[in-house]
Amino acid sequence: TSASHQAASLTRTTCGYCGVGCSLEVVTRDGEVTAVLPARDGPVNQGHACVKGRFAHGYLTSPERLTRPLLRRDGHLEPVGWDEALGHVARGLRAAVDAGGPDAVAAISSARATNEENYLVQKFMRVVIGTNNVDNCSRLCHSPSAAGLTASFGLSGGTDSLDDVERADCLLVVGANPVEAHPVVGARLLRRVLHGAKLVVADPRAVGLALHADVHLRPRPGTNVALFHGLAHILLTEGLTDEEFLRDRATGLPELTELLDDYPPHRVADITGVPASDLIAAARLYGRARRPAIVYGLGVTEHLHGTDGVRSLANLAILRGAVGTDRGHGVNPLRGQNNVQGASDMGALPDLLPGYGKVTDPAARSRAEAVWGVPVPEHPGLRIPDMFAAARAGDLRALWVIGEDVCATDPDANRVAQALDACPLVVCNELFLSETARHADVVLPVASWLEKDGTFVNFDRRFQRVRPAVPPPAEARTDFDVIHAAASAMGVDLGCPTPADALAECGRVAPVFAGLSHHRLDREGAIPWPCPNPDRPGEAKLYTERFATPDGRARLAAAPYLPPGEQPDDDYPLILVTGRRWAHYNSGSMTRRGGNLALDPVDFLDLHPDDAVRYDVQDGAQVTVESRHGRARLITRVSEQTAPGQVFCSFHFPASGVNRLTSDHADTVTSCPEYKVTAVRVAAP
């Protein structure tokens, strides 16, 4: 063993990219990460990891990392010490409250941050500021899952574990591209298919899994609800429902049956563009399977009627008795970000406290008040889009953005920038000088996931430990320390001095987490919630006895199909769908700063060969893409992966301007943006 090898050390942690939650072994030498290896005994990844988790760590030592706080003076951001920066934040927040009351302040917490940090952010807003104006970016992705799954089943999470899903004999994968976006899940689903499970893929694009599908349904973007009703209609008319389950464990069948009269296969084919024969084949595969499972992604949620989509999809599992029983493996959202489940679990939401108690519910408030020692405001706070609207209207006087590049990732980006510029105080916790940070008054340099201590919750509700492999650079601090320090600067001790203390305190506010602790997670590895008891394992499979609805029954939803917010027309004849690609992650701020950039160096606008001819566009040509909201520049890639009349690009290269194209249409229930349907045209550059 060489001396240099002796100097290496291993840190076990959880991947900070997608929501799969792979366990990783981080090799460090002389304070630097030299390799990231998948843990062979990782409960989710089982010795695998993808190109993001394994190789995208070069950003840690990027010369662009922020290492000192920045304060805007005379229009320029200048380096200052922490005391000065935090003093400015504290005075600014106090001034905002004095001028406009507590609701003149808002915070956007982070799905990238740990549970403990999210817990602390929402506590800061509710205890120090006195407002429920706290939200997180699940607003932009899976808030319709939270609303829809809660309405259908009672809890805001997937119903089964990935291990359960991998036992299914028929997989219905909807609006998800796990081979690229969640590669370890993609591989496990594929393994199941190679072992004989049937596969139905519903996605407008020919995503990786579609190559292996028994049936590939390609609905027009924005027509999911009609598609799911068409499948439900066939289940009902062909007698493929579970009568006993519907009688004993569900409600809403008469209303749904009446609605489904309007969705025979030929009508659904007209709406969705999916041939009736494919609909029937898909419904029979799902309906005749012994243990079917549904897995879905943002292609279901990011719509004007995303919550209706989730509920209509859940109808299929209820009709089949394939949720909460041994006759199926439920309805399972693939969460995009490492801790987007946890950020919501921790109560970084304007209407919900830790553990999903409603702020309007006196019992939930009094549980939190007993622990925090202050009254909790009872009116729900602002959602992210409403924060921007309030800022533009002059009603929001301070906004703290933690680990989100909202100017790059939120829709209709030009108007987001206007909102930040209109807000008197914008504070930004960041790794890099992001587009959002450029609009901030105070920029605070913070640690990344490889530099912090805490826990994440993955897509199948497992709490897992996050451990620092290296220290943050120079003066950068964890979000946990920053929130504590800001509270101190305002004269408040937030308590729970360590992340372990914060999780323990959260368990006192939220009974569903009461059985969890860092100590237990260190000893046992991953533990799913609900976990109310320290002596019991958590519940990997939900609802085996009753649903968490008031009457214990699953609820069928009878929501009619309604069209998306935008339709193509003569001026904007194409539908743009945005999504993920394999080498990069979200806004790309980490994955583009390292070796992964070489794997996927630019973003492309994928368009079908017929459209390339129709619009006289060459493969590899640079084009301008225009929508009713803005324009972007992209390089075309002619590909049959995208259907005629549709174009696709990722959101990993914000400089191309993709979110200047997207609209402010949003889910009518949760305000989740309709990223999946934007009418555009392509033009010469």
Instruction: List interacting residues with ligand SF4 (CB under 6 A).
Output: 15, 17-18, 20-22, 45, 49-50, 52-53, 182-184
- Shortest Cβ 183–ligand SF4 spacing (Å): 5
Closer to ligand SF4 at the Cβ: 464 or 627? 464
Closer to ligand SF4 at the Cβ: 18 or 66? 18
Closer to ligand SF4 at the Cβ: 333 or 385? 333
- Shortest Cβ 605–ligand SF4 spacing (Å): 24
CA 372, distance to chain mean position in Å, is: 28
Query: 């929130």: which residue's tokens?
Result: 483
DSSP secondary structure letter of residue 679:
E
- Shortest Cβ 37–ligand SF4 spacing (Å): 11
448 token code pair: 């990344």
Nearest to 644 by CA among 212, 175, 220: 220
- Shortest Cβ 458–ligand SF4 spacing (Å): 8
- Shortest Cβ 178–ligand SF4 spacing (Å): 9
- Shortest Cβ 163–ligand SF4 spacing (Å): 16
CA 408 – CA 155 distance, rounded (Å): 31
CA 18 – CA 328 distance, rounded (Å): 26
- Shortest Cβ 22–ligand SF4 spacing (Å): 3
- Shortest Cβ 590–ligand SF4 spacing (Å): 11
CA 348 – CA 429 distance, rounded (Å): 16
Partners of 84 in beta bridges: none
Closer to ligand SF4 at the Cβ: 47 or 254? 47
Whole-number Cα distances in Å, 160 to 231, 323, 423? 22, 8, 43
Work out whether strand 574-579 and strand 646-650 pair parallel, antiparallel, or are unpaired. Answer: parallel
Cβ atoms of residues 182 and 19 within 8 Å? yes
Closer to ligand SF4 at the Cβ: 34 or 67? 34
| Biggest distance spanned by C-alpha atoms of the chain | 75
CA 143 – CA 666 distance, rounded (Å): 11
Whole-number Cα distances in Å, 523 to 372, 516, 518, 519, 537? 29, 11, 9, 6, 13
Closer to ligand SF4 at the Cβ: 182 or 629? 182
Q: Which residue is nearest to ligand SF4 (CB)?
A: 53
Closer to ligand SF4 at the Cβ: 182 or 329? 182
Closer to ligand SF4 at the Cβ: 41 or 84? 41
Partners of 646 in beta bridges: 575
Cβ atoms of residues 360 and 351 within 8 Å? yes
Q: Which residues contact 1 (CB under 8 A, 6 or more apart)?
A: none
